Amino acid sequence: MTAKTMRAARLHGIRDMRIERIPVPEPGDDDLLVRVEACGVCATDSRKYEIGVNDGEYPFNPGHEWLGTVAAVGRGVKGWKAGDRVYGDVYGGYADYCLIPATAIPWSRGPLRLPADLPRERAIFVEPLADCIHAVHDQAKVKPGEKLLVIAAGVMGLKIVAEAAHLKHAGPGDDGARHAALVVEA
């Protein structure tokens, strides 16, 4: 049993974010309804706040780095049940409850199961870490032995360095001479 209304922080325009009380969304057949425990603030969130939303309609809830506990499951959902802890990367996380499709959609692989005892302060970085792994392996295609320059050693810059450092153990051809240089933004 969930509440009927919830709080949500939604953008209504540039620099216009409002905390409102709106109905708790109903899960569709393939959805999980999740009680949000925490939601990260992404650089794209501040960009949407400062210069506007270009991939959705107002009012717009930009939170997409969130975790929580499954409160209800759609009729067609298999493998999930109320009480499961989950990480989600779809919009809507700046609210008490958020919906996520239980199966992959074009830009999300769907909910990720989280250990019950993983502290939220660490779990919240799942989505940014996935971006960093993607950056190292799929975009930069860093190979063992190559040098890497990371500009700006913030949360994601440091994760990129950590992921690239793993390549040291990646396989043959690595002479152990991997270097990661950090340039800290002034």
Q: Which residues contact Zn ion by CB under 5 A?
A: 42
Residue closer to Zn ion (CB basis): 5 or 46: 46
Residue closer to Zn ion (CB basis): 42 or 167: 42
Residue closer to Zn ion (CB basis): 27 or 88: 88
What crossing angle do the helices spanning 155-166 and 126-134 adopt, rounded to 10°?
Answer: 60
Single-letter amino acid, residue 9: A
What stretch of H or E contains 50?
helix 43-51
Q: How far is the CB of 76 from Zn ion (least distance, A)?
A: 28
Residue closer to Zn ion (CB basis): 64 or 178: 64
Residue closer to Zn ion (CB basis): 42 or 86: 42
Q: How far is the CB of 125 from Zn ion (least distance, A)?
A: 10
Q: How far apart are CA 159 and CA 79, in angstroms?
A: 31
Q: What one-character-per-residue DSSP string does 125-170 give?
A: THHHHHHHHHIIIIIS---TT--EEEE--SHHHHHHHHHHHHGGGS
Q: How far apart are CA 180 and CA 158, in angstroms?
A: 10
Q: How far is the CB of 38 from Zn ion (least distance, A)?
A: 14
Residue nearest to Zn ion (CB): 42
Q: How far is the CB of 82 from Zn ion (least distance, A)?
A: 27
Q: How far is the CB of 81 from Zn ion (least distance, A)?
A: 28
Say which residues have a Cβ less than 8 Å from residue 56's Cβ, sequence separation at least 6.
Answer: 91
